[in-house]
């Protein structure tokens, strides 16, 4: 089980709900990396995560976790996965102590000492009902659970959505600490690209159930740029470089997919660095056109 | 899987107070009634009935028998419908997401539900039997054997009811537990009517509906093993159907 290079592997995965289709999804997450899964609400992020965990069944395609096919192995593989959802999912009457009692009879590697240490660290009272917790506390409780059974992979669905910047930063610090271990990986879905920019090594962009861009985050940010020009200058720019165009009051912003080539070809034009958010917005807008 | 059973039992913790109240109240009321039947007003009424000084259609001790039978079953009945409460609690909290990410197979999740059912129903049965034992010391209306038959019959009926609920929840994907309860009750009622249609028509024609209740109670006291066998069959069918459907519709439990 240890001899794998990709902690997550999806090959041509299809899930058709009729009104929504996850269409031939393929991507990999290398072992030891943090992968950001970026897309707007309804893009297919949660469905992909549910497929990965084999909570729902794919219509076709292959899904591998830790180098093993999830078919027939999912419950065993989930021993090594910590999952954090955007909503807590624990019963509101449950206290930290109750959750500990439940989980120590579910996970083989559950460590109650680690769990209560996390509760202490996150200032979560172990005797208070989790229904009385704030959103940030609920999220931290889920993270404490996810980290208390020596998981090698953290799968998170919008873990920072709706949290204030201070709590978000605290949570990102916990994730950074988690990936310090060589074989620890994180798959984190979010539409808050700022968080992913801070923490992710790899990024996968999804829209309308289709992956439209994936790769190393730094390479993607280095490659893409926003070229500023006038409306009449667009026609002079090579079509193969243009991802999308956004017209403004004072000119046009053009997202280009090869900043170096564009800088050589059009030295007179200004090319600014871009962000993951801008990349997402331009790609999604151009796909809709 | 053990953790899921513990979680289910935690969901039922809020029923504890109601269960203790029902058990204590039914016990106290029954003991008082039985004491009254020995040396109180019910005993006087019985004497009056026997000397023909009243036009009551049924002897007071016969009515007491009905009442004691109901009271003894109240603790069991109060926790009999625990299954839908657990489903409801899971639905309200969104626990299905958490459960889907746990290292537990779908079959084990369904099995855990059945174990919870056995545990709650078993607890109710044992407490009802203990009550019965104490009550049988106070009265000659029913022997401990009669009480036992009655309790085991009621436990079997609750098992059949829960087995039906499970099938409805998994097969028809019914989310509204109120509908599940009502439909299960209607099915059981329909089966009862079909099985005893001849006797029902007979007692209605003879204008003696109390005889039907007496027959019913005698059946419950003496033929509990028929209901127990029916419960075992229903539970087996329910488990295999529920587990099969849950596996096909991953993530939906």
Alpha carbons B120 and B102: distance in angstroms, whole number: 24
pLDDT digit string (tens) for A65-79?
998 998 888 888 999
Let me know if residue B127 belongs to a domain. yes
Parent domain of B172 = 2-12+80-248
Q: Flag whether B44 is in a domain.
A: no
Average pLDDT of chain A is: 87
In a domain, B208, yes or no: yes
Confidence of residue A167 (pLDDT cuts 50, 70, 90): confident
Q: Does B54 reside within a domain?
A: no
User: Rounded CA gap, A175 and A34, in Å?
Assistant: 9
- Scanning every residue of chain A, which has its alpha carbon at the shortest distance from the alpha carbon of B9? A102
pLDDT at B174 (0 to 100):
62
Give the tens place of pLDDT for each residue, B184-221.
Answer: 889 988 988 888 788 778 877 777 777 777 777 777 77
A232 contact partners, CB below 8 Å, separation of at least 6: none
* Å between B75 CA and nearest CA of chain A: 24
Among the partner-chain residues A54, A81, A103, the one whose CB lies closest to the CB of B250 is: A54
On the question of pLDDT at A114 being above 70, the answer is: yes
Q: Are B234 and B166 in contact (CB under 8 A)?
A: no
**Would B155 be classed as within a structural domain?**
yes
The more confident residue out of B89 and A63 is A63
* Chain A to chain B Cβ contacts (< 8 Å): 80
Predicted pLDDT of residue B49? 79
Residue B55 inside a domain? The answer is: no
Please indicate, yes or no, if residue B152 is contained in any of the structural domains: yes
pTM (2 decimals)? 0.80
Q: The tokens of B115 are what?
A: 């174990």
- The first and second tokens of residue A169, run together, are 């930063």
Contacts of B8 in chain A (CB under 8 A): none
* Residues from chain B contacting residue A105 (CB–CB below 8 Å): 2-3, 6
- Determine the 3-state secondary structure of B105 from DSSP: coil
**Is pLDDT of A1 > 70?**
no
Locate the domains of chain A by residue range.
6-219, 225-273
Q: Does B104 touch chain A (CB under 8 A)?
A: yes
Q: Which of A75, A90, A139, A152 to mutate to test the interface with B (most CBs of B within 10 A)?
A: A75
For the stretch A37-49, pLDDT in tens is 988 888 888 889 9
CATH architecture of A6-219: 3-Layer(aba) Sandwich (3.40)
**In the predicted model, is pLDDT for residue A116 greater than 90?**
yes
CA-nearest residue of chain A to B88? A91
- Please report the pLDDT score of residue B252 as a whole number: 47
Instruction: Report the number of distinct structural domains present in chain B.
Output: 1
Q: Is residue B187 part of a domain?
A: yes
pLDDT in tens, A192-224: 788 888 888 999 999 888 888 899 989 998 988
Nearest chain B residue to A76, by CA: B103
> What are the mean pLDDT values of chain B's consecutive 10-residue runs (253 residues total)?
87 82 88 84 81 76 82 81 81 83 88 89 88 84 86 90 86 74 88 82 76 77 86 92 79 48
Residue A56 predicted with pLDDT over 90:
no
pLDDT per position as a tens digit, A3-40? 788 899 999 999 988 888 888 899 999 988 999 998 88
């Amino acid at each position: 089980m240890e001899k794998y290079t990709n902690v997550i592997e999806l090959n041509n995965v299809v899930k058709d709900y009729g009104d929504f289709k996850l269409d031939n999804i393929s991507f990999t997450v290398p072992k030891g990396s943090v992968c950001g899964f970026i897309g707007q609400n309804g893009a297919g992020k949660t469905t992909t995560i549910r497929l990965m965990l084999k909570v729902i069944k794919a219509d076709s395609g292959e899904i591998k976790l830790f180098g093993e096919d999830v078919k027939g192995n999912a419950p065993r593989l989930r021993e090594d996965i910590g999952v954090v959802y955007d909503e807590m999912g624990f019963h509101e009457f449950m206290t930290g102590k109750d959750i500990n009692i439940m989980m120590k009879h579910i996970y083989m590697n559950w460590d109650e000492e680690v769990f209560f240490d996390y509760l202490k660290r996150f200032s979560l009272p172990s005797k208070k009902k989790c229904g009385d917790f704030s959103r940030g506390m609920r999220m931290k409780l889920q993270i404490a659970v996810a980290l208390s059974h020596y998981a090698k992979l953290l799968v998170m669905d919008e873990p920072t959505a709706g949290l204030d910047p201070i709590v978000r930063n605290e949570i990102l610090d916990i994730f950074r600490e988690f990936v310090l271990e060589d074989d620890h990986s994180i798959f984190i879905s979010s539409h808050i690209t700022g968080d992913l920019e801070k923490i992710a090594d790899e990024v996968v962009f999804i829209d309308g159930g289709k992956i439209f861009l994936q790769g190393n985050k730094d390479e993607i940010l280095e490659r893409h740029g926003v070229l500023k020009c006038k409306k009449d200058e667009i026609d002079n720019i090579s079509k193969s470089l243009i991802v999308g165009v956004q017209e403004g009051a004072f000119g046009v912003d053009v997202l280009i997919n090869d900043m170096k080539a564009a800088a050589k070809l059009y030295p007179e034009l200004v090319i600014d660095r871009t962000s993951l958010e801008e990349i997402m917005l331009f790609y999604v807008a151009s796909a809709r056109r | 899987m053990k953790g899921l059973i513990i979680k289910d039992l935690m969901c039922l913790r809020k029923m504890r107070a109601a269960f203790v109240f029902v058990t204590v109240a039914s016990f106290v009321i029954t003991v008082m009634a039985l004491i009254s039947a020995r040396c109180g007003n019910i005993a006087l009424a019985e004497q009056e009935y026997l000397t023909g000084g009243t036009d009551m259609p049924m002897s007071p001790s016969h009515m007491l028998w009905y009442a004691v039978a109901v009271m003894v079953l109240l603790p069991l009945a109060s926790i009999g419908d625990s299954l839908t409460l657990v489903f409801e609690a899971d639905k309200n909290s969104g626990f299905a997401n958490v459960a889907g990410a746990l290292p537990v197979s779908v079959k084990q999740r369904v099995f855990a539900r059945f174990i919870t059912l056995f545990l709650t129903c078993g607890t109710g049965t044992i407490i009802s039997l203990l009550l019965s034992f104490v009550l049988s010391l106070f009265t000659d209306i029913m022997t401990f054997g009669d009480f036992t038959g009655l309790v085991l019959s009621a436990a079997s009926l609750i098992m059949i009811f829960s087995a039906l609920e499970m099938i409805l929840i998994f097969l028809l994907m019914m989310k509204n537990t109120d509908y599940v309860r009502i439909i299960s009750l209607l099915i059981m009622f329909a089966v009862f009517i079909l099985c005893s249609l001849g006797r029902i028509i007979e007692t209605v024609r003879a204008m003696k509906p109390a005889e039907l209740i007496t027959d019913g109670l005698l059946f419950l006291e003496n033929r509990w093993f028929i209901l127990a066998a029916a419960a075992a069959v229903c539970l087996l069918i329910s488990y295999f159907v529920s587990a099969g459907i849950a596996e096909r519709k991953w993530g939906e439990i």
